[in-house]
């Protein structure tokens, strides 16, 4: 099972995460001390490219196009972080940890769907 958990929620209630916890943001979240949250991995390179992230700017009207572009990026990436995340998802439950304010319109939700599609082909 793959879940998405906001880092600020995880800090207050670690039981929200199941399995392996993976921070999927390129930048460390503001206002969160590394000692305040347990993460098994921080896979920066599974996050959207800086250019795509800046273009999207958490604009709900751009989410469908952002999702499509982000999936294209993930499909084209040959990266150790992507491989690691795929391996983790194949072996155990994974909690994708993110810092975006919107719980529904963010890259972690897109990544979750992308990973679920990947797992269907295994």
Q: Return the CA Rg of the chain.
A: 14
pLDDT tens figures, 70-111: 999 999 988 999 999 999 999 999 999 999 999 999 999 999
- For residues 53 and 2, give the distance between their C-alpha atoms in angstroms, rounded to a whole number: 22
Q: At what angle do helices 63-76 and 107-120 cross, to 10 degrees?
A: 50
Per DSSP, the three-state class of 4 is: strand
Per DSSP, the three-state class of 100 is: coil
pLDDT tens figures, 52-71: 999 999 999 999 999 999 99
- For residues 26 and 12, give the distance between their C-alpha atoms in angstroms, rounded to a whole number: 22
């Amino acid at each position: 099972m793959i879940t998405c958990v906001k880092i600020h929620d995880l800090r207050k209630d670690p039981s929200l995460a199941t399995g392996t916890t993976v921070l999927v943001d390129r930048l460390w979240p503001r206002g969160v001390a590394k000692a305040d949250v347990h993460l098994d991995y921080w896979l920066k390179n599974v996050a959207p490219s800086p250019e795509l992230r800046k273009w999207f700017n958490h604009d709900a009207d751009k989410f469908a196009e952002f999702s499509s572009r982000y999936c294209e990026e993930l499909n084209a990436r040959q990266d150790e972080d992507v491989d690691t995340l795929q391996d983790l998802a194949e072996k155990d439950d994974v909690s994708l940890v993110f810092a975006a304010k919107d719980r529904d319109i963010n890259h972690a939700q897109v990544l979750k769907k992308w990973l679920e599609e990947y797992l269907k082909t295994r």
